[in-house]
Amino acid sequence: MFLLAVILMFVVGVLKYGERTWALKCSNMDSIRSSLKKEPRARCHFYLDDRPPQGGPKGNVEE
Protein backbone atom coordinates (compact mmCIF):
# COMPACT_ATOMS: atom_id res chain seq x y z
CA MET A 1 0.00 0.00 0.00
CA PHE A 2 2.87 2.35 0.85
CA LEU A 3 4.60 1.63 -2.47
CA LEU A 4 1.42 2.49 -4.36
CA ALA A 5 1.22 5.87 -2.58
CA VAL A 6 4.90 6.58 -3.35
CA ILE A 7 4.44 5.79 -7.04
CA LEU A 8 1.29 7.93 -7.24
CA MET A 9 3.01 10.91 -5.58
CA PHE A 10 6.02 10.56 -7.89
CA VAL A 11 3.82 10.51 -11.02
CA VAL A 12 1.85 13.55 -9.83
CA GLY A 13 5.09 15.44 -9.13
CA VAL A 14 6.53 14.63 -12.55
CA LEU A 15 3.30 15.79 -14.22
CA LYS A 16 3.27 19.00 -12.16
CA TYR A 17 6.79 20.03 -13.11
CA GLY A 18 6.31 18.86 -16.69
CA GLU A 19 3.27 21.12 -17.02
CA ARG A 20 5.23 24.08 -15.63
CA THR A 21 8.06 23.50 -18.09
CA TRP A 22 5.61 23.18 -20.99
CA ALA A 23 3.79 26.39 -19.97
CA LEU A 24 7.06 28.35 -19.77
CA LYS A 25 8.19 26.99 -23.13
CA CYS A 26 4.91 27.96 -24.82
CA SER A 27 4.65 31.43 -23.27
CA ASN A 28 5.84 34.68 -24.79
CA MET A 29 5.86 38.35 -23.79
CA ASP A 30 2.85 39.22 -25.98
CA SER A 31 0.59 36.83 -24.08
CA ILE A 32 1.83 38.24 -20.77
CA ARG A 33 1.28 41.84 -21.88
CA SER A 34 -2.23 41.10 -23.11
CA SER A 35 -3.22 39.62 -19.75
CA LEU A 36 -2.06 42.68 -17.75
CA LYS A 37 -4.40 45.55 -16.97
CA LYS A 38 -3.87 48.72 -18.96
CA GLU A 39 -4.19 51.05 -15.94
CA PRO A 40 -1.43 53.63 -15.39
CA ARG A 41 1.06 52.81 -12.68
CA ALA A 42 0.75 54.64 -9.38
CA ARG A 43 3.61 56.95 -8.56
CA CYS A 44 5.55 56.62 -5.34
CA HIS A 45 5.94 59.79 -3.32
CA PHE A 46 9.04 60.28 -1.22
CA TYR A 47 9.40 63.08 1.28
CA LEU A 48 12.66 64.33 2.75
CA ASP A 49 11.06 64.58 6.22
CA ASP A 50 10.55 60.81 6.29
CA ARG A 51 14.28 60.13 6.37
CA PRO A 52 16.00 59.60 9.75
CA PRO A 53 18.49 62.22 10.94
CA GLN A 54 22.03 61.79 9.61
CA GLY A 55 23.58 61.42 13.04
CA GLY A 56 21.32 58.55 13.97
CA PRO A 57 18.90 58.69 16.86
CA LYS A 58 20.99 61.31 18.74
CA GLY A 59 20.53 64.03 16.11
CA ASN A 60 22.36 65.74 13.26
CA VAL A 61 26.12 65.51 12.85
CA GLU A 62 27.80 68.88 12.92
CA GLU A 63 30.28 69.56 10.16
pLDDT tens column, 32-62: 777 776 666 666 655 555 556 666 656 555 5
What pTM was estimated for this model as a whole?
A: 0.43
For residue 28, give the 3-state DSSP assignment: coil
The whole-number pLDDT of residue 48 equals 55
Q: How far apart are CA 32 and CA 24, in angstroms?
A: 11
Q: How far apart are CA 17 and CA 25, in angstroms?
A: 12
| pLDDT tops 80 at residue 12 | yes
